[in-house]
Structure 1
Amino acid sequence: MRTSSVGVFKIATRGPGDVSGLMAMIGSGEIEPASILAILGKTEGNGGVNDFTREYAVAALCTALAPRLGLSAHEVEQRIAFVMSGGTEGVLSPHITVFTRSEVAQRPPGISGKRLSIGMAHTRDFLPEELGRAAQITETAKAVKAAMEDAGITETADVHFVQIKCPLLTSERVEAAAARGHKTATTSAYSSMAYSRGASALGVAVALGEVASDIQDDDVLRRYDLFSSVASTSSGIELMHNVVIVLGNSASSASRFEIGHSVMDDAIDAAAVVSALRSVGLGVQLGVAPQAAAGRELVNIFAKAEASPDGSVRGFRHTMLEDTDISSTRHARAAVGGLIAGLAGTGAVYVSGGAEHQGPAGGGPVAVIARLPY
């Protein structure tokens, strides 16, 4: 088994097209372009079907990285996994998190235990009528297992976060299916985002043994008792396959970083956030960035958020689903983002809306990456 060194860099952005921070770190030698495996970002769009800040950010990054890698911008997009999550409501701050991976001969002295590892895989392209259905679940489960192997992770318990970029339906895609005599899970582009996210999350759950493998089409967006505790899925218009990024800890990693996670039962579950921080040795002091005496440092927090589908939080009614002026996903991102930012001491955290089958209904996974002193 190869030994890999994984790096994690959080970089603030002034807008979706701002690549100056990344280019500065490349220029200083802190980041080697050829080692970049994935970039996760928060952009200041609306997070909806027409949120083009996501595409803009990816285009800007690919254009900037192309000459550094000796590739075309299109080839850069095929090589690096880009996942842009639109929506920085409330105190959430736009930023990108860059993950690098390079092979090393052996672990340096002082590195012990399991450390952060990252792996990536792709599904095949889906037909429009397969989105939100069993085919997407099955193919995603295969890709999760492939990404685990790529990461050198052998135990499902060592997987702490699975980020997936998945497709959505457009009117053209719905019409193409109909022309071939097939019906799609929905004809609404916005609703298709939820179906695709949900099926992708259930694929993670199947791969990791969190649920049985006999999930039916009708279970998606209906059986909310079926979910993954580590899945984070985000839908976009720019692809027709799933990009799967697995983050976990591996004995084959020589990284200075470690990842842990917990699961929020609802949108105000501060205890789960604290538990996730403590899982990587970080204490919590209100108003101060979490840290430990051993010199560990918070790098970033990744979480999912959604409005509880039953219309209440701990017995009290919420209005996120009834507000026709603002999408419920935007309400949820702002609420959960504020909660996590208060505990983390920073608004530069990755909180993504739409948590269908990602944690219990109304809740969601929360993962923390910490930098260790050695």
Structure 2
Amino acid sequence: MKAQDVGVWCVPCRGPADLSGVQALAEAGELDPRDIVAVMGKTEGNGCVNDHTRDFATMAWQHYLSSHLQCTPAEVEARVSLVMSGGTEGVLSPHFTVITRRFIVGAPAADDKRLVVGVAQTRTFLPEEIGRRAQIEATAEAVRGAMRDAGIEDPADVHFVQIKCPLLTSDRMADAAGRGAAPVTQDTYASMGFSRGASALGVAVALGELPADTVHDGLVLADGAPWSGRASVSAGIELENNVVIVLGEAAGAVSAFRIGHAVMKDAVDAQSVRTMFRESFGLDPERDADEVARRLVNLLAKAEASPDGRVRGARHTMLNDSDINATRHARAAVGGVLGALVGRTRLYVSGGAEHQGPPGGGPVAAILHI
């Protein structure tokens, strides 16, 4: 019987195309680039429609991996899930989370569940499908496929679902109009929220957090609409489909890592994260700070400016700033809270949490060495 062995590295970078840290790990024999199944990058762009640092980083990875996988750069994305999230405001530090996977025949099974990973992709979306039922349903199916790829049968064993989804550009909207179709919005920036929201609801359907028969076009961004406690979605200009990475645990895996998750109720909810560390890993970030620093690979989180304009009853101004987008404020705020909690700033904090956790909050997950 084959046992899944997943490796995870959090690698700093000097810029979106700097893969020297990954190259050093490969040259030292610590990782084999041919085993890489997913990369989650945090790049130092603005995270908005015109953030081309995501595309720049994706291209760098395509060219690096093509030589190892013996394929063209364009073919890499069919074999490796590349998810680049722009925005490292505040104290957040740019980095890549590199995930490898190999299957070992005859490995002795671990006594507990260990980290596993699964990947999948949706079909290419028509512009008018983004932010609507078609994207929700296609995403749900891709998440189920990624679960199968990970060897996860019980949705309760899924701890984090990272998705990269497309947005609407003026060219894509013109294409829809030329065919007599109407996109969900005419605002390119607003389309990011619709795409993230539909993708997150697809996760909720796949994990049983939302009944499939309640899905309809008007559900996305509707007031009081449901949310997923394990979805993390970033939108980008560099793709036209959804790329799905499922991170969870399964019996029989021999990985040297575990994963746990929680849901922050708002941007300053450090207590939920502390509780996750205690219940999932038996650690307290303050009491066991040295061990947390030694074992933590990365903390993955969503951030959102509370849409009601308040955090615990106090007014915030993130939604009223005409100079800096609210998603950038939110990343900086949550990054500061989590950085103070775990004592490091190389963290994967993604902005825009539509249907990802409660309004103003968001899912969070931690990957730790055993």
Instruction: Give the TM-score range, shorter chain.
Output: over 0.9
CA spacing shift, 1:119–1:170, aligned 2, 3 Å: same
1:354 to 352, 355, 359: 352
5 Å-filtered alignment, 1:89-238, equals 89-108=89-108, 111-213=110-212, 214-238=214-238
1:338 to 323, 336, 340: 336
Q: Is the 8 A contact 2:166 2:242 kept in 1?
A: yes
2:53 alignment counterpart = 53
Which of 229-238 and 283-292 deviates more?
A: 283-292
Q: Is the 8 A contact 2:54 2:238 kept in 1?
A: no
Which of 258-267 and 272-281 deviates more?
A: 272-281
Q: Return the alpha-carbon distance in structure 1 between the equivalents of residues 101 and 179 of structure 2.
A: 43
2:292 alignment counterpart = 291
1:281 alignment counterpart = 282
SS in 1 for 2:368: strand
Q: Return the alpha-carbon distance in structure 1 between the equivalents of residues 216 and 225 of structure 2.
A: 14
Q: Return the alpha-carbon distance in structure 2 between the equivalents of residues 252 and 123 of structure 1.
A: 28
Q: Is the 8 A contact 2:261 2:366 kept in 1?
A: yes
Offset at 1:76?
1.7
CA spacing shift, 1:325–1:228, aligned 2, 3 Å: same
Q: Return the alpha-carbon distance in structure 1 between the equivalents of residues 19 and 290 of structure 2.
A: 26
1:366 alignment counterpart = 364
Q: Is the 8 A contact 1:174 1:184 kept in 2?
A: yes
Paired letter, 2:360: G
Q: Is the 8 A contact 2:292 2:342 kept in 1?
A: no
SS in 2 for 1:209: coil
5 Å-filtered alignment, 1:220-259, equals 220-259=220-259
Offset at 1:289?
4.9
1:205-240 Cα deviation digits (max 9, x unpaired): 011110121222111111444000000001111111
Q: Mark the runs of 5 or more structure 1 residues left unpaired by the alignment.
A: none
Matched, 1:329 2:327: yes
Paired letter, 1:166: C
1:91-116 Cα deviation digits (max 9, x unpaired): 0000101000001013347x321100
1:68 alignment counterpart = 68
Matched, 1:42 2:42: yes
Q: Return the alpha-carbon distance in structure 1 between the equivalents of residues 124 and 151 of structure 2.
A: 25
Q: Return the alpha-carbon distance in structure 2 between the equivalents of residues 302 and 280 of structure 1.
A: 16
Offset at 1:286?
7.4
Q: Return the alpha-carbon distance in structure 1 between the equivalents of residues 218 and 336 of structure 2.
A: 34
Matched, 1:311 2:309: yes
1:18 alignment counterpart = 18
Q: Return the alpha-carbon distance in structure 1 between the equivalents of residues 290 and 96 of structure 2.
A: 19
Q: Is the 8 A contact 1:63 1:73 kept in 2?
A: yes
1:84 alignment counterpart = 84
Q: Is the 8 A contact 1:286 1:342 kept in 2?
A: no
SS in 2 for 1:174: helix
Q: Is the 8 A contact 1:224 1:360 kept in 2?
A: no
CA spacing shift, 1:357–1:18, aligned 2, 3 Å: same
1:122-175 Cα deviation digits (max 9, x unpaired): 111111000000010011111111100100011111000000011100111111
Q: Is the 8 A contact 1:308 1:361 kept in 2?
A: yes
Q: Is the 8 A contact 1:311 1:319 kept in 2?
A: yes
Which of 23-32 and 352-361 deviates more?
A: 23-32
Paired letter, 2:143: V
Counting aligned pairs with the same residue, the percent is 57
Root-mean-square deviation (CA), in Å? 1.5
TM-score (norm: length of structure 2): 0.96
CA spacing shift, 1:345–1:57, aligned 2, 3 Å: same
Q: Return the alpha-carbon distance in structure 2 between the equivalents of residues 207 and 283 of structure 1.
A: 32
Offset at 1:283?
2.0
Q: Return the alpha-carbon distance in structure 2 between the equivalents of residues 142 and 79 of structure 1.
A: 18
Offset at 1:327?
0.3
SS in 2 for 1:78: coil
Paired letter, 1:76: V
SS in 1 for 2:152: coil
Paired letter, 1:329: T
Offset at 1:69?
2.1
Q: Is the 8 A contact 1:287 1:343 kept in 2?
A: no
Q: Return the alpha-carbon distance in structure 1 between the equivalents of residues 335 and 288 of structure 2.
A: 15
SS in 2 for 1:79: coil
